[in-house]
Amino acid sequence: MKSRLQVHFDTVKICLFFFSSLFLISCGGGGGSSEGTTTPENIKPVAVISPAGNQSIDIGSIINFKGDSSSDADGNTPLSYQWTFSGAATSMQNSTAENPGDVTFSEAGTVTVSLIVTDSLGLASSETTISVEVNTTSNNQAPTGSISHDNGDGSLGTTTDISIIEGTEVIFNSDIRDPENDSISYAWRFEGATPATSTNEGNISVIYATVGNFTVSLVATDANGNSSTFPTTPLNVAVTAKAPTLPVFKSLPLLTPNIVNGVAKYTLDVEENVNVTIDSPSGSWTTPMMRYNSLPLQPVIAAKRGDQIEVTVNNKLTSNEETTVHWHGFKIPGVEDGGPDFPIAANTSRTYSFTMNQAAAPIWFHPHAHGTTATQVYKGLAGAFILTDDITESLESNKQLPTANNDVALLVQDRQFADANNTGIRNLVYSNMGANGMLGDVILVNGVEMPALEVSTSQYRFRIFNGSNARTYDFALDTNENFYVVSTDGGLLDKPVAVNNIMLSAGERAEIVVNFNNAYRQSIKLISKAFSAGGGMGGGGSSLANGDPFDVMRFDVTTQTTDAVTLYESLPANADINSRLTAAMADTTRTFVMSMGGGGMQFLINNKVFDINRIDETVPSGATEIWEISNTSQIAHPFHAHAIQWQVLDRGTTGGALTPSSGVDLGWKDTVLVQPNETVRFIGKFDPVINSGKYMYHCHILEHEDNGMMGTFEVLP
């Protein structure tokens, strides 16, 4: 009703306005008369509503309304105002104030706000209206966004499931917003973690101390009670058990030479009853052992190709045993080779003197006196000899081979210990009663049973020395992931070979490169896989037979680093290994047949037991020879020849076609495992300058060697 009245009233005013305008126009256009000061000022005011325009608000909202006292163009003030609020209920129905002020909209629906302004002359404005939509349910949009987490490995995940070990801290964050900009409350639920809940928006540190599979969820609720759950499908957290604490890995001690006139001089005191601490996962104990220089571990000698070496060996064994130091894998004269033909009696000394003239290699040294080699090595006499050359140094400095802290020697030996007694001493147990040689049930890596080595997310070069008396290992990672073999016994392979296992028999070595780049916070084990050892002639009294599987050590990837190493792809052409010997180059082929008799306790090469007074083979100086080794026994034998490094030509079933070498078999070898009924041919060139005198070839199962599976060859001048 009211609006109809106003419409009518407006109509009248519009007529007046028209009339006034016409009057002004006619007056203004009426010749010389000036603009009359008596002309009625009759411009209607304009109704101005603030806020302007239609509004959409939540129920209960307040709007502050204002008018405009300057809305009359010809200034006929004071103005009078007529506000009306019609429709849905409000706190005000009408007002005559210029600024009615706060109006509360307490009912859903539409409210029409209108204003008419009248000036002092009684001229009224047109009616201005706005509508206000009052909504009960306009704010029904739930928060949106995502959550993220950082479990310390740099993997910021939103929907990525979390896989961690127990004890890991995870930082949770959220990025949530409300479409209507309402305030948000947070309700996190960290199942299986501490704290289990949080009302914080983010940067929440949560510790997962319990093994299991859990979920994470965040319910974000806005001020109007609208909520969302993040992520939509719950985030899973798999917490696995922390690897058990293991004894700390020990590095082999590096001997420091005394350099005299360019000669690196070393002294090795051969001692026994040295109390050695053996760490194991079940505790530590003391074992009296033989040691060089009373060191807690077997030492390392480092040298470079071309170096002159002098090693004085003092036999201080109180048991009156002879000893020698054999330089296993070295190309040196027979008289310096440390074979059983030059024993060092107790309380006497011998100085070995030689110049290194061969490719960089993981070579080693150990006693080789006849009849006591096995027990002296077993009791703890051995050492690693790390030979470098220009090629390896160049590869290392060009970051094509891991070096420094990422270059680790692993001397792997199995031992058997007597039960603990009250004194904390566990003596070594040795028995030479089985056909397989001495097999221990405790696997030591650098003198520690199952050590853990902390590594970084980078590539490591492990120089593995099988210094065991009799055991063969089939080394692999428990992840079954590939690694590279870069070196065999006598030097680097021309090309790294990717494998997921490498078998090393007693006396053999290999350098492998393992990449931990993707294993941050993981623990990876070096294991020995199960394999068929043949035979069936009984073990050496050990509960761990040759071929049984076991763990060797563990790598704990505890630090993140940027790995700068890109492994070399091939060696320079001048590398020794790239001078490949072919069968056509051979001056002669010698055959060696390893066999066993006497119920498995007789060990023969070419049907002979070792005789120190017999020369079995005579090699002309500088000859290139193929040695063809066969094994007619029921167990595998590692055949080792002194004097030089060899290249395997081919291998296969004895009497059948032989397969040319490939892969790891292309490397320099001084010890080759020959399986039952297998024939292996290797070829070598004796150095006309260096090689002369008597050398040994033998099975490197030391019990077999001591029991006669050995022969002497003499390189004639």
Question: Footprint of Cu ion on this chain (CB under 5 A)?
Answer: 637, 699, 701, 704
Rounded to the nearest whole angstrom, what is the least distance from the CB of residue 709 to Cu ion in the complex?
Answer: 5
Distance, CA of 109 to CA of 165 (rounded, Å): 58
Distance, CA of 716 to CA of 618 (rounded, Å): 7
Rounded to the nearest whole angstrom, what is the least distance from the CB of residue 394 to Cu ion in the complex?
Answer: 39
Rounded to the nearest whole angstrom, what is the least distance from the CB of residue 676 to Cu ion in the complex?
Answer: 11
Please identify, using beta-carbon distances, which residue of 234 and 541 lies nearer to Cu ion: 541
The region, left, alpha or beta by phi > 0 then psi within -120 to 50, assigned to residue 273 is: left
The residue type found at 683 is I
Rounded to the nearest whole angstrom, what is the least distance from the CB of residue 596 to Cu ion in the complex?
Answer: 8
- Torsional sign, CA 666, 668, 674, 675: negative
Please identify, using beta-carbon distances, which residue of 619 and 710 lies nearer to Cu ion: 710
The whole-angstrom distance between residue 232's C-alpha and the CA centroid of its chain comes to 32
Angle at 83 between CA 82 and CA 84, to 5 degrees: 120
Q: Please count the residues of the chain.
A: 717
Distance, CA of 528 to CA of 477 (rounded, Å): 8
Evaluate whether 400 touches 345 at the Cβ level (below 8 Å).
no
Rounded to the nearest whole angstrom, what is the least distance from the CB of residue 607 to Cu ion in the complex?
Answer: 15
Rounded to the nearest whole angstrom, what is the least distance from the CB of residue 636 to Cu ion in the complex?
Answer: 8
User: What would the DSSP string read from start to end of 363-379?
Assistant: EEEE---TTTHHHHHHH
Rounded to the nearest whole angstrom, what is the least distance from the CB of residue 633 to Cu ion in the complex?
Answer: 8
Residue nearest Cu ion by beta-carbon distance = 699
Please identify, using beta-carbon distances, which residue of 143 and 507 lies nearer to Cu ion: 507
343-370 b/e (C-beta count within 10 Å ≥ 16 → b): bbeeeeebebebbbebbbbbbbbbbbbb
Please identify, using beta-carbon distances, which residue of 174 and 413 lies nearer to Cu ion: 413
| 462 to 493, 507, 553: CA distances (angstroms) | 15, 16, 12
C-beta neighbour count of 518 within 10 angstroms: 9
Distance, CA of 656 to CA of 635 (rounded, Å): 19
Please identify, using beta-carbon distances, which residue of 76 and 466 lies nearer to Cu ion: 466
Evaluate whether 80 touches 67 at the Cβ level (below 8 Å).
no
Please identify, using beta-carbon distances, which residue of 359 and 635 lies nearer to Cu ion: 635
In angstroms, how far is the first alpha carbon of the chain from the final one?
Answer: 136
Please identify, using beta-carbon distances, which residue of 492 and 605 lies nearer to Cu ion: 605
Rounded to the nearest whole angstrom, what is the least distance from the CB of residue 334 to Cu ion in the complex?
Answer: 23
- With H, G, I as helix, E, B as strand and everything else as coil, classify residue 83: strand
160-198 b/e (C-beta count within 10 Å ≥ 16 → b): eebbbbeebebebebebebebebebebebbbbbbeeeeb
Rounded to the nearest whole angstrom, what is the least distance from the CB of residue 211 to Cu ion in the complex?
Answer: 46
Rounded to the nearest whole angstrom, what is the least distance from the CB of residue 305 to Cu ion in the complex?
Answer: 32
Please identify, using beta-carbon distances, which residue of 409 and 701 lies nearer to Cu ion: 701
Rounded to the nearest whole angstrom, what is the least distance from the CB of residue 701 to Cu ion in the complex?
Answer: 4
User: Per the structure block, which two tokens stand in for 535?
Assistant: 């035979």
Evaluate whether 243 touches 523 at the Cβ level (below 8 Å).
yes
Please identify, using beta-carbon distances, which residue of 181 and 632 lies nearer to Cu ion: 632
Please identify, using beta-carbon distances, which residue of 237 and 701 lies nearer to Cu ion: 701
Rounded to the nearest whole angstrom, what is the least distance from the CB of residue 539 to Cu ion in the complex?
Answer: 15
Distance, CA of 475 to CA of 466 (rounded, Å): 11
Please identify, using beta-carbon distances, which residue of 246 and 435 lies nearer to Cu ion: 435
Rounded to the nearest whole angstrom, what is the least distance from the CB of residue 543 to Cu ion in the complex?
Answer: 22
What residues have CB less than 8 Å from 464, skipping those under 6 apart? 362, 410, 412, 475, 504, 509, 510, 511, 512
Please identify, using beta-carbon distances, which residue of 470 and 643 lies nearer to Cu ion: 470
Please identify, using beta-carbon distances, which residue of 558 and 675 lies nearer to Cu ion: 675
